[in-house]
Amino acid sequence: MAKSVLKKKDRNDLRMLDEKRTFEWYCKTFPKQFRICETVDDYFQEIESLLRKSAVAWIKIGIYLEDARKRLGKESFHELCDQLGINPTATAWRYRKMARHPWLSNPKNWPYLPANQAALLMIAKHEKELSPKKLDQLVQQQELHPAVEPRDIKAWLPAPEKNGHDVGYKPITRPIVMKFGGLPKDVEISERDWKKLDKRVQKVYQEWLKEITG
């Protein structure tokens, strides 16, 4: 089941740092800002010093966490998160999500990063609409800057579709809803009840998907 679902996920949600921007690339290109870590304690020291600092620090945290998940494995990664006092499938996921965005994680763009963490995460979640090219245009137009807030970013996104879901919403397939809703495959569900069930299962499904993707 998980395998078939994962194939449909956006590459951004599954990839580690891309081949051109490995963690080693960051350490080599920006040696004063990053250092190679080997143990949980190494990562803890680097990340703990960045917590609650700034937008640049949040992106750095995501880059470190992304590398730690790849280098240390799931068990040690969770140990690291426990030491940092962050949830590995919620808080850590948000940091990693922001670091996966190619524009946000490019140090050349850091002077323009929003100081609001919710705004950063919104950009990361809408990479398809807010591509590097689009963000470069917003910088040139002086619309993207540290004072930007979530409501500003919302104005850059396409209007919601007629079905009421935001653009980029991915409806869950009926078999998955059946599985997480605990319903037999042959149950009859009206379209009205189906929509309600779909929304209720979304949260459980997303939590499960984050867990299996690390």
- Block means of pLDDT (10 residues each) for the chain, 214 residues, are 39 47 78 83 84 84 92 91 90 91 92 90 91 93 90 85 46 53 54 61 63 56
| pTM for the predicted model, two decimal places | 0.58
Q: 3-class secondary structure for the chain?
A: CHHHHHCCCCHHHHCCCCHHHCHHHHHHHCCCCCCCCCCHHHHHHHHHCCCCCCHHHHHHHHHHHHHHHHHHCHHHHHHHHHHHCCCCCCHHHHHHHHHHCCCCCCHHHHHHCCCCHHHHHHHHHCCCCCCHHHHHHHHHCCCCCCCCCHHHHHHHCCCCCCCCCCCCCCCCCHHHHHHHHCCCCCCCCCHHHHHHHHHHHHHHHHHHHHHHCC
pLDDT at position 49 is: 76
Q: What is the pLDDT of residue 196?
A: 62
Predicted local confidence at residue 32, as pLDDT? 77
Amino acid 136: pLDDT: 94
pLDDT in the model for residue 80: 92
Q: What is the pLDDT of residue 41?
A: 87
Q: What local confidence, expressed as pLDDT, does residue 206 receive?
A: 64
